[in-house]
Structure 1
């Protein structure tokens, strides 16, 4: 059976499943005295709505604090901790974008070069022309590329097999373009698979090795790793991740997801402290040149946020904005945010609500960031 038909069925039924509330008391740990009650109320609501567990890790230059609710593992009372490793999904895109921009700084890639220049003949047919789609458009989701994860990410069969990037791109190309390149915005994971392939084409190293060598090691992100194809384990302390599929009910997805199905679009494993450390370094100008950081922060309207080059901008209810990225992947939803004045917030939820929807992560992050003003 074709992958597309499988996943259409899977997604249609998955939204009808949820998670039994863990029934674990909420906890708050704070190294600062400010009341975090609103943030606690929000994540308690996530658990009441069926999410197994949730945590917000936040802070500023004065210190950090944590609120959490539910459990890191069903059947136990162990809460999610800041040091727990989880799959962070599309937070990976910030790292891919940083590698691409470093290669631009080095003269090995050009932002406004067509993808055809680096991957000749790959993006052609079904209305696509790789000569008209630039790296900038792929980074910013303005390419019009079809989204391969509509077919794969929540399909139980597709989750289990190893994938080559070219295969994922072909799935994306099987959808006609959503619009002419550069004319609109629409999220496409296929674009980031292509960017990972372009990085390898000019450097001779796979994107995971580039992320490790250029970002994880130099910035001391010791609790993060980009798993190789075939490595489904999360090593070290971690929160379990849960999801639901037709005929299977609630499943522990922690070691079931084949990382190559996410690839450069979302394979990274990390923690809240590591992600915050990276975004802080990025915004402080330590990762890419000032000129390219300014372009990274040059955003276009998206949905309830604005999107730059691998970086999301979120308006805050208390004024100003936060920068970072969200990440949804079977088992986990994560959200990393940092403001220019040094406030930080990281959210993780290890499952969906009972109605099959993801948690309203911006509400929790907004609460945590605005509580620090």
Structure 2
């Protein structure tokens, strides 16, 4: 595989997160085993081992892979001799002004934060999972950053205006691949509801989902408009959730026109 394939999710690698957890769950119906798996301390190599134990799709198809981004983080650390945490602090958090973001490797957060809770349906006692013991190593380089909506907006603005990468690299990132039609390198595009059919415009950003929270940040290409949303209480009980973050996202975007 190539680095570009990892960045654009066309390497053929499976997602990896579920495969990683299932290696430590004998009974998928056991709440205790699932919570224990979410609280385990995982090494990066375990993510790679998990996807190498299952079939891959053919290279060139778009398949979102968390494990692929774990591999990218491992490559960055090998190439620089520094940790992803240090590099994020120096090259992303600092320049973007993200004063309330961190890259934890242990469960637990201090201060006024969204709880990591998930709705799992009436079949479970109480209906809710308390995921305070969730270990960010479950996602590692693919999504272990803890942030705020203000910091997410600051990051997206800094990225889109060229403060974090040069213009040639940024253009590469913002060019959707043929395999997906909407995903570039680490970011994706959606149609701006403020634009017209005669002059369609795109918004750029990304979403993120742990097992109890959801977040999304989108911004205009010139960085003048940003919107970020964070929500807890993710619904894991059905394929169709009880609420859709898009119900809030679209009106919020229209309010920025």
Report the TM-score range of the alignment, normalised by the length of the smaller protein. 0.7 to 0.9
Question: Which residue of the other structure, out of 210, 219, 232, is the alignment partner of 1:338?
Answer: 219
Look up the match of 2:54. 175
Q: Does residue 1:365 correspond to 2:246, yes or no?
A: no
Q: State the 1:364 CA deviation.
A: 2.6
Correspondence 1:102-141 to 2 at 5 A: 133-141=1-9
Q: State the 1:258 CA deviation.
A: 0.8
Question: Which residue of the other structure, out of 79, 86, 93, is the alignment partner of 1:202?
Answer: 79
Q: Could you tell me whether the CA contact under 8 Å between 1:234 and 1:269 is conserved in 2?
A: no
Structure 2 length as normaliser, TM-score? 0.84
Q: Does residue 1:237 correspond to 2:132, yes or no?
A: no
Distance 1:247 1:362, change over 3 A: closer
Q: Could you tell me whether the CA contact under 8 Å between 2:211 and 2:234 is conserved in 1?
A: no
| DSSP-derived class of the 1:214 partner | helix
Q: CA separation in 1, counterparts of 2:216 and 2:140?
A: 19
1:323-350 deviation line (CA, Å, top 9, x unaligned): 1110110210111111125222111220
Q: CA separation in 1, counterparts of 2:225 and 2:96?
A: 19
Q: CA separation in 2, counterparts of 1:301 and 1:366?
A: 26
Q: Could you tell me whether the CA contact under 8 Å between 1:296 and 1:309 is conserved in 2?
A: yes
Correspondence 1:206-225 to 2 at 5 A: 206-225=83-102
Look up the match of 1:282. 159
Q: Could you tell me whether the CA contact under 8 Å between 1:316 and 1:366 is conserved in 2?
A: no
Look up the match of 2:150. 273
Q: CA separation in 2, counterparts of 1:146 and 1:343?
A: 34
| DSSP-derived class of the 2:95 partner | coil
Q: Could you tell me whether the CA contact under 8 Å between 2:119 and 2:236 is conserved in 1?
A: no
Q: Could you tell me whether the CA contact under 8 Å between 1:146 and 1:174 is conserved in 2?
A: no
**Larger relative contact order (Cα-Cα within 8 Å, sequence gap ≥ 6):** 1
Q: CA separation in 1, counterparts of 2:167 and 2:84?
A: 23
Distance 1:217 1:236, change over 3 A: farther
Distance 1:324 1:292, change over 3 A: same
1:13-39 deviation line (CA, Å, top 9, x unaligned): xxxxxxxxxxxxxxxxxxxxxxxxxxx
Root-mean-square deviation over aligned CA pairs: 2.2
Question: Which residue of the other structure, out of 191, 196, 210, is the alignment partner of 2:68?
Answer: 191
Aligned pairs, number: 235
Q: Could you tell me whether the CA contact under 8 Å between 2:20 and 2:46 is conserved in 1?
A: no
Look up the match of 1:111. none
Q: State the 1:362 CA deviation.
A: 3.6
| DSSP-derived class of the 1:306 partner | coil
Q: State the 1:360 CA deviation.
A: 2.8
Q: CA separation in 2, counterparts of 1:216 and 1:321?
A: 25
Structure 1 length as normaliser, TM-score? 0.59
1:108-160 deviation line (CA, Å, top 9, x unaligned): xxxxxxxxxxxxxxxxxxxxxxxxx1111101101110221123469323211
Q: State the 1:216 CA deviation.
A: 1.1
Q: Any stretches of 5+ residues in structure 2 without a counterpart?
A: 23-33, 196-200
Look up the match of 2:27. none
Distance 1:153 1:243, change over 3 A: farther
Greater Cα shift, 358-367 or 154-163:
358-367
Question: Which residue of the other structure, out of 250, 261, 276, is the alignment partner of 2:128?
Answer: 250
Q: Any stretches of 5+ residues in structure 1 without a counterpart?
A: 1-132
Look up the match of 1:109. none
| DSSP-derived class of the 1:327 partner | strand
